[in-house]
Structure 1
Amino acid sequence: MKSSILSGSNNGRNKNKNERSTSDMPRYEQIALEIASKIARKHYKQGEKLYGRSALAGQYNVSPETIRRAVALLQSMNVVVAQPGRGIIVGTAEAAEAFIKEFESRYIVQDMCNQIVQLVEERNRLNREIDEILNKLVAYTTRMAGRLQKIEEIQVPRGSYLVGKSLSAVDFRARTGATVLAVERNGEQIFSPDVSFIIQEADILVFVGPPESKNKVYDLVNT
């Protein structure tokens, strides 16, 4: 019988986990598991008398009270039996195996619970970081809202001051603060027109600029 709690595993990760579990146990539970493991491996045989409590206390370098608690734990699952006049008698290997499996299940569940607690703490930490970043983003976008540039369109009407003139001739950017991104003419789009581009009637100017540039473009186009 091999106990994953006591004997570990060839898998390094499981071994580390099991070592952590046994080290977290109270000392009397560790002793009880070690005795149960020896019974399961038939190092101690059924019906055999164990050492007295004082001898066991010396062997494990613990107090007699710790041994008493370890023996009581083993007795609770019939791994050992205390018989008046005879002392502590070894039970069956099957009872010892059942005892070990009980503790394996207990510490597997405990380990999973510990992992859940750690993951919840990590999730809460990440949520706090996300909230902090979102708050910074909202504050930043609020400050920038008045400075964001919006794409606008305007059609050049008949008789406009712009008709027949180039963008440079009317000082479009200098007078409005806006940049012409494209011009739609007869259903076709002319992207990034240069400063020599001649504006015609019914052209649709697609421009971008700060909020105050919109009214300036409208005034210039409708002059």
Structure 2
Amino acid sequence: MTKKVKIPNYIRIAIDIAHRIVKNEFAEGSKITGRTTLVSIYQVSPETIRRSIALLKDMDVVTVNEKSGIIINSRKKAVEFLNKFKTQSDFNNLKSETFELLNEKKKIDNEIEQKLNSIIKFATQLRNVGTIIPFESTVPVDSSIIGKSIGELNFWHHTKATIIGVKRDNETFLSPGPYFTLLAKDILIYVGNDEVLENVENYMINPFNRI
């Protein structure tokens, strides 16, 4: 969700005064008798009002006379002031949104880097087993090994196969430890000699048979 730029009070007040001028609540040529009146209207400090009036003065919306107070110069200038602020506000919001997108991009880049590291790690594991091509077997839905951990099953002892990964849904778990619990339809990725495929397939059907 995009976070909008917070507008300081003195700018909000300057905008409100400009709107009042445009709506003729403060007519051209009329006077606002000093900053004290605006302090009471907006319930803010004199310094806040001073900064608000300074913005309007810079755009020739008002003239400040120490003796006669604040004089309204022009509705046209008030409109120009409002248009200028809208442009600046849009720019600030666009800048804020851009920084948020950059932060999101950074998060995505980090996630991609993590995935690439996993792929590299997985590829390294396969390379380390030499020319042995890993086998894959799917855990049957009625297998007795479902709900048991790799360590609990003493998997290598019974099959002579080394599990290097487990595919589950759209996720691959690399180097699952002895506490990794197997579920129905998990795809086991393992290495070993030519006979381990048959060993694993048989063991998933009847884990109580020993090799």
The correspondence for 1:148, drawn from 122, 133, 150, is: 133
**Aligned residues with identical type, % of pairs:** 30
The correspondence of residues 173-212 of structure 1 with structure 2, limited to 5 A, is none
One-letter identity of the residue aligned with 2:75:
A
Q: CA RMSD in A?
A: 2.5
Opposite residue 65 of structure 2, the aligned amino acid is: Q
Counting only pairs closer than 5 Å after superposition, residues 67-216 of structure 1 correspond to structure 2 as: 67-145=49-127, 146=129, 147-148=132-133
Match of 2:12 among 26, 30, 35: 30
Structure 1 stretches lacking a partner, 5+ long? 1-15, 151-209, 214-223
Partner of 2:169: none
Tell me the residue number matched to 1:64: 46
Give the aligned residue type for 1:26.
P
SS of 2:105's partner is: helix
1:65-113 CA distance string (max 9 Å, x none): 1111111111000111113432101121110000011111111011111
Unaligned 5+ runs, structure 2: 136-190, 195-211
Could you tell me which amino acid in structure 1 is paired with residue 92 of structure 2? Q
TM-score, normalising length: structure 2? 0.59
Stretch deviating more after TM superposition (130-139 or 78-87): 78-87
Q: How many equivalent residue pairs?
A: 136
In 2, the alpha carbon distance for the partners of 1:108 and 1:45 equals 29
In structure 2, distance between residues paired with 1:149 and 1:125? 33
Q: After superposition, give the CA deviation of every residue in 1:134-169 in whole Å (9 maximum; x if it has no partner).
A: 10111012212334269xxxxxxxxxxxxxxxxxxx
Is contact 2:126-2:134 (8 Å) kept?
no
